[in-house]
Amino acid sequence: MTIINIGDANAALQDWITLPEAGRPPDYAEVFTRQMQVPHQCVHIALNGRSILVDAGRMVPPGPPPFDPEATRLLAGLAAAGARPEDITDLVITHAHWDHFNASTIAHDGGFGPRFPSARVFLGQPDWEAARRGEAWQNSDSLERTTFGALNEAGLLTPVHGDLDLDHGVKIVAAPGESPGHQMLRIRTSGYTLFCVGDLYHHTIEVERPTYMPDWAEPVSNQASRAAFAREALAANALLIAAHIPSPGRLHETATGVTWVSV
């Protein structure tokens, strides 16, 4: 397993979680205003002959993929893991926010083609449907058309409705809330459980207080996803990787709830 940080962004919790100062617990007041280096992490997993990539992003603003495909931390991270783009067998996109999929295609023959030509690409069906309904879909040069559209035309895109077993202990688990089609990857092997949770949590404070979430998330489904996940992760003592939490961790039950313990 290799965690690949495609780049850091400077942010504070108050930039994406709206909570009036009066409503912030005193012990969290400084956490909300402190500027942090927030990583953007993809994960590569080699298992049972599979070469699995969870998310494929690069730190550029929304728009068509740029024409300098080799200048990316993602490919450098894969190379360090001994994986070439053509080796990837499965690409699991946790959700359709630009930093999780904008490196999934590459400029090719005047258009765009898959960067990982042998990979099946798994995208939550609600996110796929939302992309096609969106205004950007009408523009052939939009990020959605040059990524999801190109992958679909290549016959590689698999919309996922709910959970999906990929065999040998590998499973895609639906976790809507961050987006309608947000999903995680769960791997069970040799008595161990690993979850790549995507953006189920962005900061450890959201584990301790599951009602805290970014303003764009859908509260009811997000809280339900977090509650179901926490029960399973605790029972399995699962190792967890989140896209924007710097260190892997495990959930730990406390007298007042659940906390994230870095490992």
Q: Pick the range with the lowest mean pLDDT from 41-45, 59-63, 142-146, 220-224.
A: 59-63
What pLDDT score does 69 carry?
52
Does pLDDT of 65 surpass 90?
no
How far is it, in rounded angstroms, from Cα 12 to Cα 35? 5
1 closest CA partner among 115, 77, 60, 65: 77
221 or 63, greater pLDDT: 221
Q: What is the DSSP letter of 227?
A: H
Residue 106, phi-psi category: left (phi > 0), alpha (psi -120 to 50), beta (remainder): beta
121 or 20, greater pLDDT: 121
Collapsing DSSP to helix, strand or coil, 180 comes out as coil
For residues 243-259, average pLDDT: 96
Does pLDDT of 71 surpass 70?
no
What pLDDT score does 30 carry?
79
Q: Where are the alpha helices (DSSP H) in the chain?
A: 29-33, 73-80, 125-133, 143-144, 150-153, 205-208, 219-236
For residues 116-120, average pLDDT: 98
Domains of the chain, earliest start first: 2-262 (3.60.15.10)
How far is it, in rounded angstroms, from Cα 77 to Cα 243? 15
E-assigned strand segments in the chain:
2-11, 36-47, 50-54, 90-93, 105-108, 111-114, 120-124, 157-160, 164-167, 170-174, 183-189, 192-198, 239-242, 249-253, 258-262
Q: Give the pLDDT band of residue 67 (cuts 50, 70, 90).
A: low
For residues 5-9, average pLDDT: 92
State what percent of residues in the chain have pLDDT above 70: 94
183 or 35, greater pLDDT: 183
pLDDT, one tens digit per residue, over 9-32 is 898 888 888 876 776 777 777 788
